[in-house]
Chains A and B, each alone.
Chain A
Amino acid sequence: MFSWQATFDKQQSALTDFLASHNISAYQIRLDADARRRAARNEQDDANDQSNEQAAVASPASAPAVSASPARATRGRREQRTSSRDEEAHKKEQKAIDKIKASKKFQKRKRGVGDSEDDEDLVDALLKRSAPLPGQMENCEICGTRFTVTPYTRNGPNGGLLCNKCGKELEKDDAAAKKKKKAKRASGGAVGMRRQVQSNILDGTYTLGAKSLMTLCIETLAKNIDLAEDLGDLPASIMDMIARKLSKHRLLDSRTLSLLLQPTAEDVHVYDGAKLSSDDFIRIFRTVPGLKRLKVRNGIHFKDDVLDFLMSRHIELEEFYVHGANLLSESKWKEFLQHKGHSLRSLRVYWTDKHFGDEVLSLLESTCPSLTRLKVCHNQQVTGTGVAAIGNLKSLRHLSLDLRNEVHPDVYVDVLSKIGPSLETLSLTRIRTGDNSILDAIHTHCRSLVKLRITDSEEMTDAGFVRLFKDWANPGLVFLDLQKCRQLDAAHPRNNPDGIGLCSNGFRALIAHSGKTLKFLNVHGCRHIQAAAFEEVFGPEKVYDAMRKLEISFCEEVTDFVAGSIFRSCPNLRELNVFGCMKVKDVRVPRGKILVGVPNAKGMVIEGDDEDDE
């Protein structure tokens, strides 16, 4: 079933490949070894012949061709004769070292390794092939005694060989060093593992059982990325996973970027461009001529000259996602839209403070006729004028705004009345002044929403939410985020006489409308949803098959009973977040589900005794 011969061949050829990558040829080694063996035999014969004459002189012809060490080995006996040859061999060795040091491969390796100390080691390692073979004689590097080399002979600190005695002593030292290393690792083990599990839970990558083989491979690859010279022709999805992993470890720089750029690709995702220069970004356009979708996060050096270069190319971007590119000027943004806007389907701009403003948004109508997705996140420049201009983008399907300037609700109402019917995504993050008129506009105009996000409103009321969800002609939502829509009053935090924010009735209404379709629901910080509402919604006969993730942190009324009911009513739930739900104490979590943020988790201490509080 399993042929040993074949395995052996395979291994041999793998070794040959490896050596070839270091400019070492197996054939050459064999020739060298043969020559050495012949030389050793001759030497022995010579010694026998000349033993009577008491003068052991090797014939010059028997001198090994490449190796320097055998010459040194016989130094003791033939000092005078060999001194010139020794010098010659030394020169040769120096030459070989220089050659290795100058080689491209070595430079590449060195970059990954770092100091000069390491490169001495590397040179030694590459020169090691000139050591004598088992069966030959050699002088010990430390004590100078002559001994027979065996397969178990150890290497000395300077690359020579050691006699049995010295080798054993060195081994002792090594063993002691190893023990120290091991002890260090053990202390990080269990804690590191627990920490990793917690980290995975928060990352949302926690699963029971082993990681997928692909994940394992990609992690190994990311760890050893400085050894990689070319990733070959990998599918785009895998490239993307590698890109994510590299960025996560902050390993994306000029060199690793070149590994990720494939000339035939249509997508380039730079998840962390903090270490890239303008030239690196330009290189993306140079190496990937068919680029259609570009994503750049932390693109600090994504500057005017990068866009200039892009405009000089025949690249028609369909999706453009840029994060943190604050050095792009407003005039360049306009120029870019005028030149390349017609092909643009998706434009997402994150974390800009000055140069992406109302004027740029007003240009979109005339320059981007096919724009379906627009996202402006954490922007300090856009005001109501810019938002009003969005209403003219008839092709828009997905709209996300997260602005720092306050915009009057009437502007949003106006936009919704114009483009509301075709919107599939509406995300209005941090609209403190947004009120019920926006909810009513959504109720009246939106008919195809799938994803809705309205957060941080301090004006919307429970009645408003009830009006939105009651008899809404829009099909059930899949994604709903109403976090922090609640009343804020430091003096009377518990009282909410006006029913501000999402409260019990709004919660009931939203579940009645979208409960069957919702996969993701976030009511983080909606403090005034009563326990009765939770218990009713997640009652024994209610089942919500679609629900995958539920975020109910800082909903004060959530108890163990509610959390248990949620697990019962949502059989496909993967994650339940209950940060700050102080009444959740001891819930039985079904296998494979994740409960995050329990206040009495290890590492978090609750003061006082539970019973005394009552």
Chain B
Amino acid sequence: MADSKYITLVSRDGFEFVVLREAALVSPTIKGMLRSQFIEARTGRCCFAEIDGVILEKVVDYFHYWYRNRDKEEVPDMEIPVELCLELLMAANYLNLEPATGLRDWT
């Protein structure tokens, strides 16, 4: 199971999403969960007690959107539903999906 190409993400309200492992690794949080000898690494299941199914679904959408476009230039923006925006922002923060550090940040 640990070597499977796919992992399972579980939301607070019990939805399960099967995601390509490589796509999910964009999140450093998930990467950390899948490393070493955590139970997540053995079972390939990550439970998010803070994230609702609706939000996690969007997050999973994003993982695949990111994976499809990982080497492309001029990527069209993914649509974010306005009503989910804030909750999705919290989830993105939790999963460490931060913008890459800019050039101006030289320190």
**A34 → B minimal CB distance (Å):** 29
Complex contact A221–B89 (CB within 8 A) = yes
- Residues in A whose Cβ lies below 8 Å from that of B74: 193-194, 197
- Residues in B whose Cβ lies below 8 Å from that of A378: none
**B44 → A minimal CB distance (Å):** 14
Binary interface profile of B, 61-87, with partner A (CB < 8 Å = 1, else 0)?
A: 010011001111111011010110110
The CA-CA distance from A197 to B15 in the complex, in Å, is 38
Taking CB atoms and an 8 Å cut-off, the chain A residues in 13-64 that contact chain B are 14, 18
Question: Contacts A10-B13, A197-B74, A214-B97 given: A220-B82 contact, CB under 8 Å?
Answer: yes
Is B30 located at the chain interface by the 8 A CB criterion?
no
Contact partner of B93 (CB less than 8 A), chosen from A208, A231, A235, A575, is: A235
Is A187 located at the chain interface by the 8 A CB criterion?
no
Binary interface profile of A, 247-260, with partner B (CB < 8 Å = 1, else 0)?
A: 00000000000000
Is A204 located at the chain interface by the 8 A CB criterion?
yes
Complex contact B15–A6 (CB within 8 A) = yes
B18, B62, B99 pick with most chain A CB within 10 angstroms = B99
Complex contact A1–B16 (CB within 8 A) = yes
Question: Contacts A2-B16, A221-B85, A227-B82 given: A210-B99 contact, CB under 8 Å?
Answer: no
Is B39 located at the chain interface by the 8 A CB criterion?
no
> Size range of the interface on B?
35 or more
Taking CB atoms and an 8 Å cut-off, the chain B residues in 25-84 that contact chain A are 52-54, 59, 62, 65-66, 69-75, 77-78, 80, 82-83
Contact partner of A219 (CB less than 8 A), chosen from B13, B77, B97, is: B77
The CA-CA distance from A152 to B18 in the complex, in Å, is 37
Binary interface profile of B, 86-98, with partner A (CB < 8 Å = 1, else 0)?
A: 1011101101011
**A213 → B minimal CB distance (Å):** 4
Complex contact B106–A211 (CB within 8 A) = no
Closest to A18 in B: B83
The secondary-structure label for the interface of chain B is loop
Contact partner of A209 (CB less than 8 A), chosen from B15, B69, B106, is: B69
Closest to A203 in B: B102
- Residues in A whose Cβ lies below 8 Å from that of B78: 210, 216
Complex contact B88–A204 (CB within 8 A) = no
Complex contact A212–B98 (CB within 8 A) = yes
**B10 → A minimal CB distance (Å):** 10
Contact partner of A208 (CB less than 8 A), chosen from B62, B73, B83, is: B73
Q: How many residues of A contact B (CB 8 A)?
A: 45
Complex contact B100–A212 (CB within 8 A) = yes
- Residues in B whose Cβ lies below 8 Å from that of A478: 106-107
Is A512 located at the chain interface by the 8 A CB criterion?
no
The CA-CA distance from A238 to B69 in the complex, in Å, is 25
- Residues in A whose Cβ lies below 8 Å from that of B16: 1-2
Complex contact A574–B59 (CB within 8 A) = no
Question: Contacts A6-B14, A520-B106, A575-B103 given: A214-B89 contact, CB under 8 Å?
Answer: yes
Complex contact A2–B15 (CB within 8 A) = yes
Is A548 located at the chain interface by the 8 A CB criterion?
yes
Is A234 located at the chain interface by the 8 A CB criterion?
yes
**B28 → A minimal CB distance (Å):** 11
The CA-CA distance from A575 to B107 in the complex, in Å, is 16
Is A587 located at the chain interface by the 8 A CB criterion?
no
Complex contact A207–B80 (CB within 8 A) = no
B52, B65, B80 pick with most chain A CB within 10 angstroms = B80
Question: Contacts A224-B85, A478-B107, A549-B106 given: A216-B80 contact, CB under 8 Å?
Answer: yes
Question: Contacts A204-B104, A234-B89 given: A210-B97 contact, CB under 8 Å?
Answer: no
- Residues in B whose Cβ lies below 8 Å from that of A220: 80, 82, 85
- Residues in A whose Cβ lies below 8 Å from that of B85: 217, 220-221, 224
Complex contact A212–B97 (CB within 8 A) = yes
Complex contact B93–A209 (CB within 8 A) = no
- Residues in B whose Cβ lies below 8 Å from that of A1: 16, 18
Closest to B95 in A: A213
**A321 → B minimal CB distance (Å):** 16
Closest to A520 in B: B106
Closest to A211 in B: B77
- Residues in B whose Cβ lies below 8 Å from that of A18: 83
Complex contact B70–A210 (CB within 8 A) = yes
- Residues in B whose Cβ lies below 8 Å from that of A227: 82
- Residues in A whose Cβ lies below 8 Å from that of B73: 197, 208
The CA-CA distance from A217 to B98 in the complex, in Å, is 11
The CA-CA distance from A207 to B100 in the complex, in Å, is 8
The CA-CA distance from A18 to B83 in the complex, in Å, is 9
Contact partner of A214 (CB less than 8 A), chosen from B75, B93, B104, is: B93
Is A567 located at the chain interface by the 8 A CB criterion?
no
Question: Can you list 16 contacts pairing A with B, beta carbon distance less than 8 Å?
Answer: A1-B18, A6-B14, A10-B52, A204-B104, A209-B70, A209-B71, A210-B65, A210-B66, A210-B78, A216-B62, A217-B88, A217-B89, A220-B80, A231-B86, A234-B93, A479-B106
User: In the complex, given contacts A1-B18, A214-B99, what are 20 additional A-B residue pairs having Cβ atoms less than 8 angstroms apart?
Assistant: A7-B53, A10-B53, A197-B73, A197-B74, A204-B102, A204-B103, A208-B72, A209-B72, A211-B99, A212-B98, A213-B66, A216-B62, A217-B85, A217-B88, A220-B82, A221-B85, A224-B82, A228-B86, A235-B93, A238-B89
